[in-house]
Amino acid sequence: MVDMSTRMAARGKDQAPEHQRNQNRMRRLQVLKDARPQHATVRVVPTDEKYRPVLKHQPSGIAFRKEGAAEWPNDRFTQRRLRDGSVRLEEAKSEDRPAAKPAPTPAPTPSA
């Protein structure tokens, strides 16, 4: 027959005290947090102005301002809104300079 004890073994000297285990755990979690990339953000505008007052990014609660775009995390929620057409990406503002005017050509001189 097998003798089954209902008592737990006492904590041995090889186990760290609880506060040390918590510190080790927090250190591991911080390393994982630092290694994980942050979500990129995208600037979106509503496709129709009727969506502006009612549509906001659900996980973060970021709403649209009275005018302009909102910066949302590029996550599954944002991707679904882009697919269903309720928002669209803001066009990138081009920082191109206006095309330079060509140098005026000198007028031909009449030959004598």
User: What does the pLDDT look like over 10-66, one tens digit per residue?
Assistant: 665 666 678 888 899 999 988 888 877 776 889 999 999 998 999 999 988 999 999
Domain count, the chain: 1
Give the helix ranges, DSSP H, for the chain. Answer: 18-35, 76-84
Within a domain: 65: yes
Within a domain: 50: yes
Over residues 55-110, the pLDDT tens digits come to 999 988 999 999 999 999 988 999 999 999 999 999 877 555 455 555 556 666 67
Question: What residues make up the domain containing 85?
Answer: 39-89
CA distance 89 to 107: 49
Within a domain: 1: no
Token duo for residue 8: 């737990």
Within a domain: 79: yes
